[in-house]
């Protein structure tokens, strides 16, 4: 998110925004940590600003510094924030056994997941894999995937209200080369049409060329939880178009409807 979007908002604290951007720059794949230059590249912030922010976050314990490598890693207080968030999402407890049952029934490398939006990404907040069978996609709680290209992201966009959808599309346009934006928008509109007509969206290689998936948006009937999306995906040679559209898409939709009937 660009600070310029809030230039006229006197209540908006830019320093806080930038500090959170530093924390958001880390991913589960950054096991060796990130240096100030890495963080500057990922956030687009000046090196001097990044240095001040990492110093402050280090003093507060949100970052840990490795003198041997000169890199930062996330500290334990960040984990406590994450668990506080997950603890407030009661849908995880309701959905997890249903997700696991579906994953076990599908087997053979299928991953069933639940995720929510984090700026221009979707972040997994729950996952389920078959108890037996081949290894599924290497994604876990905390993994982030593309909002614009993934089945989960496009389903999320389809399920949002007009105001948020307009904001998302503007953000995607700003981040997408002009010659590619028309195709991205076409794919997002296709997802919305699929969900409108049959309740789920099938993405065939849109996120990664050898990965197929189906996804369904989810909003709590009580209206007191953030917009989320359920996803079922795996290798394309396991999840053919026919299997996704005629078997697994309807099953995922049925599962999501069960979650909604429980009222969480």
Q: Could you read off the pLDDT of 22-33 as tens digits, one per residue?
A: 988 888 778 889
Helix (H, G, I), strand (E, B) or coil at 63: strand
**Do 120 and 197 belong together in one domain?**
yes
Which CATH number do you get for residue 64?
Answer: 1.10.10.10
Which of 33, 53, 80 is the C-terminal boundary of a domain? 80
Tell me which H or E stretch contains 13: none
CB 155 within 8 A of CB 145: no
Instruction: Give the total number of structural domains in the chain.
Output: 2
pTM of the entire structure? 0.78
CA distances from 89 to 93, 182, 231, 256 (A): 8, 35, 17, 15
H helices, E strands: number in the chain = 10, 8
Tell me which H or E stretch contains 139: none
The predicted-structure confidence for 161-175, as pLDDT tens digits, reads as follows 999 999 999 989 988
Host domain of residue 32: 3-80
DSSP string, 33-48: -B-HHHHHHHH---HH
In this prediction, the residues of the chain whose per-residue pLDDT falls under 70 are 1-9, 83, 86-88, 132-136, 223-224, 263-264
CA distances from 262 to 85, 226, 227 (A): 21, 17, 17
Beta-bridged to residue 72, according to DSSP, are 34, 65
């Amino acid at each position: 998110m660009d600070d310029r979007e809030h230039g006229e908002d006197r209540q908006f604290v830019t320093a806080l925004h930038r500090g959170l951007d530093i924390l958001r720059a880390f991913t589960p794949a950054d096991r060796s940590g990130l240096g100030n230059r890495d963080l500057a590249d990922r956030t687009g912030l000046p090196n001097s600003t990044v240095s001040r922010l990492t110093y402050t976050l280090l003093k507060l314990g949100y970052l840990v510094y490795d003198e041997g490598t000169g890199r930062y890693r996330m500290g334990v207080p960040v984990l406590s924030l994450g668990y506080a968030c997950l603890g407030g999402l009661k849908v995880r407890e309701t959905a997890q056994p249903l997700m696991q049952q579906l994953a076990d029934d599908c087997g053979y490398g299928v991953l069933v997941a639940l995720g929510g939006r984090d700026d221009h990404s979707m972040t997994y907040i729950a996952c389920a894999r078959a108890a037996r069978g081949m290894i599924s996609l290497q994604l876990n709680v905390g993994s982030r995937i593309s909002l614009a290209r993934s089945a989960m992201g496009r389903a999320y966009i389809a399920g949002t209200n007009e105001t948020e959808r307009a904001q998302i599309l503007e953000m995607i346009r700003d981040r997408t080369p002009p010659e590619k934006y028309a195709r991205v928008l076409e794919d997002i509109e296709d997802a919305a049409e699929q969900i409108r007509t049959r309740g789920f969206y099938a993405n065939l290689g849109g996120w990664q060329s050898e990965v197929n998936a189906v996804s369904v948006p989810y909003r709590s009937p009580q209206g007191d939880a953030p917009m989320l999306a359920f996803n079922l995906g795996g290798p394309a040679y396991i999840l053919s178009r026919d299997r996704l559209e005629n078997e697994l898409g309807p099953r995922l939709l049925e599962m999501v409807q069960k979650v909604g009937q429980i009222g969480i």
